[in-house]
A and B are shown apart, each in its own frame.
Chain A
Amino acid sequence: MVIGDNYFTIPAFTDLSATTIYFVAFCFLMFMLSVPFRYLIRPYVLLAANIFFIYTFGWNNLICLFAFAVLGYIFSFIVKKYQGKKAVLLLALPFVAGLFSFKYFAQTTSIIIPLGISFYTFKILSYLFDIYEGKIKVEKNPVFYLDYVTFFPCITAGPINRAEPFLKELRSCREFEYSDAGSGFLLIGLGLFEKRVFCDFITSVVERSLDNPELLGYNVLFGVLMYALQIYLDFDSYSNIAIGAARIMGFKLDRNFASPYISRNLKEFWAGWHISLTSWFRDYLYIPLGGSRKGVLRKYFNIIFIFFVSALWHGVSLPFIVWGLGHGIIRIIEDMASSILRKIKINRYVGYLFTPILIVVNFLIVSALWVFFRSSDLTSALAVFEKIVAGGTFSYELIGLTHNEFIWSLFIAGTMLVTDIIRKLLPIGDILGKQVFIVRWAIYAVLIIAFLIFGMYGGSFDANDFIYRRF
């Protein structure tokens, strides 16, 4: 078995966490190897890299991953053989049971959740479901299959990429494209910058605000809003790094975030948040359950069910369930409201006027629900709201911020807002990636210099891990 702190010892050398310079070096090595080995032994080199990558986080993670992967490989043939028979879907149960057992016991015991189990379980399931649906063929070559399941950029925190495009790209052996490498490295650079300069700083602001029991009112509200920013920066930065790492090796992953906070309602928010997971639930749960095709009540049940499962996917605990159900209920209320509003024909321009208000309200709702996401139990989550309601004047000094730190946190929030608006309109990553090399490399230089000054590093700093690596 895999579990427990002491069953297998973690190797003495460092893991290849995506925030480290080792990860960047590893990506660069893979880039160098992927060019000459593109036509011949690329899948084998990639598998070796995947295994090494996971090994650096401990044998236990590797064993668990391979146990799931091998089971998925065997099941894929069974699914193919009994394609179309619903009973075969029961083969998904061992994976679901395994995943949720880990989730449950991690809450109640000292068991550590194996690295990336939520992500590769869903990848295996999507692979099996796609075979069942006849969307893809069974991948007979175990190396190709394992390359997909263990693909290292996505293993720790997603995105949950699909088998079909990945295997297609693995086989395609496209020629080396400089623009892919350029935009890939740029995405890695931007992701690292986002994490180590923006996110880790905002994390420290959140900790100073929400973990200080003496703060009340706006000081706590500030922390709640900053947490919304933190979790976005955290996950978006990892997704950028993962997508960039995949791209330099010749794999194109879809974007995982599309300006989610620039949304007028939760429907739009979820269309832009953790897209690979949302679309997974949509394709493999919501639509098979009937989606919106079987009446309003069934639709609402499906919505609630999807958010409930999504909550369990994040963790089997009451705060996560409240968070999920909260989203589900508000999503239904929104749906009802929009049905009513559709009947009242509102002038298009009046609608535009309301857009900023709706975006702000939606952001506040999402931020409030993140409180449950962050809290270890329901009591502490509710205590946050009690403290906000208790009132009190805002003072960044009370939070423990200097004037410069306060300005810097606002600057980060502003920068993310502006870049999200631009990203909503333009594929900024691709555009930057296609710039003349001197512009692109100048961006690297600016990022590194800004990191040197504003980055969170040095002897007294412990880097925060990615939030989504816990799942």
Chain B
Amino acid sequence: MLKKAGRILWNNIKILAGAAFVLATIYYSYLYLCKVFINKEAFYNDSFHNMPKDSVDIIVLGSSHAQYSFIPSFAYQDSGLYSYVLGSACQAPKVSYEMLKEALKNQSPELVILEVYTTTPVSYNCEGDVCFALAQYMMRGQEKQNVINFLPEEKAETYRNDFINNHNTWREMESLKELIYEKDTSITPDFGYIQLDAELPPKNSWYPLVYDNVPDFTLDEEDIDGLNNILDLCKEKDIQLLLYMMPMDSLTAENQGALDKVWQWADENDVKYLDFVQLSRKINYRLQIHNNGAHCFSNGASYITDYLMNFVKENYVFEHHTQNKELDSLYDLYVPGLTASVFRTEYNPVKYLSRLINYPDTYVIKYDSHDRPLGDTLRTCLLDMGLEGFDGYSSYYAIVRNGEVLVYSNTPLSYDLDGHHIEIGNGVLSIDENVINDYYGLSFTAFVDDFDHYTNKNINVWNSWDEGYGYDYKPLW
């Protein structure tokens, strides 16, 4: 009897031990697999968590309009501040609130900039949903679950587990090495910004409609709750809040009514805001040139970022900013490419030249005076650039690198640079005997030496002239 009982006991111990062994093996394997089969896009964007602790000064939250309109690298150039865009398609305030909570786990920004497109009725047709927030960004813990719970249940189920959603990626794996988990500690230097290059040539352009009379609008309760929650969290953490709205097509009077309510909410809560729909004329931001009707092109984003950062510098003080050399170089990394993109599509010479001042690479200036002075605006701009030997009246030919004039002349010049022979003169602009199209020898030409990732060519040229605008775009070699 005792022997039998002992045998039963031993069998039960074996079962329990086996079960424990299996469960532990499966559990730890599962945890490991979750890391390997993570959504690669989310992994890519995990760079936010890789930012040094408490390094981010400004967090930008919002929909894709935020992702396309705010360039952290330019913001850094303008102010020396570190910013990061935590946006996603159709990201509603309630999702932004969860994003902010996630961000505050490791960061202590002094300013939160919230883009409010999703509070307007035009966003109700938004095709994306909060899944994008999960697919593209790295939310964790309860915040992630909260965002998933915003989804309809059948959809939520498919987002609850990265591993379950992505285990099929073994089909595309190129090597078994991909099964070995290596934590990526890199920081992606777009800092959440999505670059969208303008179409060439530009289409007809216009300013967004602004309505005198708008219908009364009631904001969605969830949006108000989201705004209140963000504000409360900002107050609790001693963070300033700034709202903004991007210009876009198809904004009706009803949408403006919705925006008015958001601004009313902001006024009531002593929150500052910038309505770029209203500001578009002031900053010369034109739909179809700076914006494809929905999202900002890089040239438009430079307008918005510059304006926002000027506003930020005037209205906010950043007491806890700490300079980080590694971050400085990262924020500088995309500047040449982004600036080149802006150059390529910018029609406004003033805007063009003001960014050229900060251009960290090489550019050529060819100004044929034809015994006629430049217009005041352009002359002022060029004078402000502090170009050595430029007086604003005489012809001026120069090659500039990193803001330093390598060579200049008031008469035609030729110069060898990086193994290329450059000739600049009255009606002449050539590199290695490749003549660059110069519009009828008109007043002003500048070109920028840059590797263009879009065309895989390494030099592009743009002409612009006073009292008008136009484009020429020609890869040289």
Chain A interface residues (CB < 8 Å from chain B): 178, 402, 404-405, 408, 437-438, 440-442, 444-445, 448-449, 452-455, 457-460
A452 / chain B contacts, CB cutoff of 8 Å: 29-30, 33, 163, 167
A458-B26 in contact given A437-B14, A452-B163 (Cβ < 8 Å)? no
What would 27 A/B residue contacts be, using CB atoms closer than 8 Å?
A402-B171, A404-B172, A437-B18, A438-B21, A441-B21, A441-B22, A442-B25, A445-B21, A445-B22, A445-B26, A448-B26, A449-B25, A449-B26, A449-B29, A452-B29, A452-B163, A452-B167, A453-B33, A453-B167, A454-B167, A455-B167, A458-B158, A458-B168, A459-B157, A459-B158, A459-B159, A459-B164
Given contacts A445-B29, A453-B33, 7 further A-B contacts (CB under 8 A): A408-B171, A448-B22, A449-B30, A452-B167, A453-B37, A458-B165, A459-B165
Are A460's CB and B158's CB within 8 A?
A: yes
Q: Does B11 count as interface, using CB distance less than 8 angstroms? A: yes
B173 CB, min distance to chain A CBs, angstroms: 6
Residue in A404, A437, A442, A459 whose CB lies within 8 Å of B173: A404
Q: Which 5 residue pairs of A and B lie closest in terms of their CB atoms, listed nearest first?
A: A459-B158, A441-B18, A445-B25, A445-B22, A449-B29
The answer to whether B15 has its CB under 8 Å from any CB of chain A is yes
Residues of A within 8 A of B164 (CB): 457-459
Which residues of chain B come closer than 8 Å to A178, judged between CB atoms? 11
Residues of A within 8 A of B14 (CB): 437
The B278-321 residues at the A interface (CB cut-off 8 A) are none
Chain A residue with Cβ nearest B159: A459
Which B residues from 20 to 54 make CB contacts under 8 A with A? 21-22, 25-26, 29-30, 33, 37
B: residues with CB less than 8 A from A are 11, 14-15, 17-19, 21-22, 25-26, 29-30, 33, 37, 157-159, 163-165, 167-168, 170-173
Q: Which residue of A lies closest to B163 (CB)?
A: A452
Bound-complex Cα distance A442 to B21 (A): 8
Chain A residues contacting B163 (CB-CB under 8 Å) are: 452
Q: Which residues of B contact A438 (CB under 8 A)?
A: 18, 21
Bound state CA distance, A405 and B173, in angstroms? Answer: 10
List of B residues within 8 angstroms of A454 by Cβ:
167, 170
Residues of B within 8 A of A459 (CB): 157-159, 164-165
A405 to B169, CA, bound (A): 11
B42 → chain A closest CB, angstroms: 16
Min distance, Cβ A325 to any Cβ of chain B, angstroms: 40
**Once the chains bind, are A444 and B22 in contact (CB under 8 Å)?**
yes
Asked if B170 and A453 sit within 8 Å, CB to CB, the answer is: yes
| Residue on B nearest A444 in the bound complex, by CB | B22
Q: Write the nearest CB–CB distance from B233 to chain A, whole angstroms.
A: 32
Assembled-state Cα–Cα distance A229/B18 (Å): 34
Q: Least Cβ distance of A463 to chain B in Å?
A: 14
CB of B15 within 8 A of CB of A437, answer yes
Bound-state CA distance A243–B30 (Å) is 29
- Known contacts: A457-B164, A458-B167, A459-B158. The answer to whether A441 contacts B19 by CB under 8 A is yes
Chain B residues whose C-beta falls within 8 Å of the C-beta of A440 in the assembled complex: 18
Find chain B residues with CB under 8 A from A457 CB: 164
- Distance in Å: Cβ of A180 to nearest Cβ of chain B: 13
Q: Which A residues are CB-close (under 8 A) to B171?
A: 402, 404-405, 408
A residues within 8 A CB of B33? 449, 452-453
Chain B residue numbers with a CB within 8 Å of A460 are: 158
Contacts of B29 in A (CB 8 A): 445, 449, 452
Please name all residues of chain A whose beta carbon is closer than 8 Å to the beta carbon of B165 when the two chains form the complex.
458-459
Q: Bound state CA distance, A402 and B33, in angstroms?
A: 21
Query: How distant is B174 from chain A, measured CB to nearest CB, in Å?
Result: 8
- A438, B158: Cα distance in complex, Å: 34
Cα(A423)–Cα(B208), bound, Å: 75
Complex Cα distance, B22 from A436, in Å, reads 14
How far does the Cβ of A242 sit from chain B's closest Cβ, in whole Å?
24
Which of chain A's residues have a CB closer than 8 A to the CB of B30?
Answer: 449, 452
Q: Please indicate which of the listed interface residues B11, B18, B164, B170 has the most CB atoms of chain A within 10 Å of its own CB.
A: B18
Chain A residue with minimal CB distance to B25?
A445
CB distance from B11 to the nearest CB of A (A): 6
Nearest B-chain residue to A440, judged by Cβ: B18
